[in-house]
Amino acid sequence: MSFSTLTKNELARVIDSRQCCKKAELVALIKMDGSLQVSGRQVSLNILNHNAAVARKLFKLVKELFGIHAEVLVKKKMRLRKNNVYWVRIPPQEGLREMLLQLGLLKPDGTLREGVQQDLVSRNCCRRAYLRGAFLGGGSVNSPGGNYHMEIITSKGRHAADLCRLMQNFRLAAKISRRKAWFVVYLKDSEQIVECLNLMGAHSALLEFENTRIYKGMRNQVNRLVNCETANLNKTVDASLRQTESIALVARTIGIDKLPSGLREIAELRLKFPDDSLKELGEKANPPLGKSGVNHRLRKLDRIAEKLRSGDTSPG
């Protein structure tokens, strides 16, 4: 089961105690997945969802808030993933028009209302409920083991802008992008996704997200440290090989005993301890040298070897 499905199953079990929050969540679900069917003077409301727990919640909210009869129809998809599709259908009946008016979906003249009625999301608790309903209707969140991404997809640009503003009220840096005919409201930052899960009430999903994120961060940190150590080790080995070759050339051509005492000591130490670091070589010198002192003498030996390779055997 995907992380999105686990999150939606958890959010579908979150039931607000306040009527205003229930209304806000119901409005979001209808705006995301609902459609009005008009036949003459008969009006019915159909709400589509792919999650059984969300369909049950829709059925329960409609009955508790307005006492309206609804029915749930199940249809099995035959293409691609053969998942069930759940239709929560409210047939023509008394009270349906009043419900749509109270939810701010219809204007008093009977025309559809664009955007979210601000009275329904005037409180923070109602804003959280609305975001939860929108996510249940058209949201998804990637598993924290991969790329961090959370999105809510809607077909209306005005609704996407309203969702973006609701998130920004909670200091979430939501952005909108186009995906063919759809508008995508998304978050990319892991901290922002955690905060949004907390606001919606998905606390178990939040804990799993955080655990995976911490493990992923530690693994990445270990990988960075290992890569850094490997790079440093390779650099040290390459430098040691180059220095050993240079000293061997000097020894064959002019002899190590012809070198000044400081250079002779470092040359002998490098040949005797080819795997030691500069710090370790400096500790073996008499008197001990720092890394910069050892590096300076080894560079002098490299320059002498370069002159010898170019055919310059003058005393200088």
Per-residue pLDDT tens for 181-199?
A: 899 999 999 899 999 999 9
pLDDT at 314: 56
Q: Of how many residues is the chain composed?
A: 316
- CA–CA dist 71, 63 (Å, integer): 11
pTM: 0.70
Are residues 54 and 175 located together in one domain of the fold? yes
Q: Both 181 and 39 in a single domain?
A: yes
CATH number at residue 51: 3.10.28.10
Banded pLDDT at 75 (limits 50, 70, 90): confident
Which residues span the domain enclosing 245?
Answer: 217-309
Q: What is the tally of helices (H) and strands (E) in the chain?
A: 11, 8
For 243-256, what is each residue's pLDDT tens digit?
A: 888 888 888 888 88
In this structure, are 117 and 158 located in the same domain? yes
In this structure, are 196 and 227 located in the same domain? no
Going by C-beta distance under 8 Å and a sequence separation of 6 or more, which residues neighbour residue 199? 128, 131, 170
- Please compute the mean of the pLDDT values over residues 73-88 and round it to a whole number: 76
* Co-location of 66 and 103 in the same domain: yes
Q: Which of 146, 174, 201 is the last residue of a domain?
A: 201
Q: Are residues 178 and 270 in the same domain?
A: no
Same domain, yes or no, for 85 and 45?
A: yes
Residue 200 has pLDDT above 90, yes or no: yes
Which of 167, 201, 235 is the last residue before a domain boundary? 201
- Token pair, residue 143, equals 């598993």
**Cα(147)–Cα(130) distance, integer angstroms:** 26
* Tokens describing residue 7: 């999150």
Do 169 and 283 sit in the same domain of this protein? no
Are 7 and 63 members of one domain?
Answer: yes
The reply to whether 206 falls in a domain is no
Predicted pLDDT at 26:
93
pLDDT value, residue 133 = 94
Q: Which two tokens stand for residue 312?
A: 């310059």
Residues 142 and 226 in one domain: no
Q: Are residues 183 and 222 in the same domain?
A: no
Task: Domain count for the chain, please give it.
Answer: 2
pLDDT in tens, 221-230: 888 888 888 8
Q: Are residues 165 and 275 in the same domain?
A: no
How confident is the model at residue 315, as a pLDDT?
47
Report which residue type is found at 287. Answer: P
User: How far is the C-alpha of 60 from the C-alpha of 64, rounded, in Å?
Assistant: 6
Tell whether 210 is covered by a domain.
Answer: no
Confidence of residue 78 (pLDDT cuts 50, 70, 90): low
Scored b (16 or more CB within 10 A) or e, 267-305 reads: bebbeeeeebbbeebbeebeeebeeebbbebbebbbebb
Residue 312's pLDDT is 62
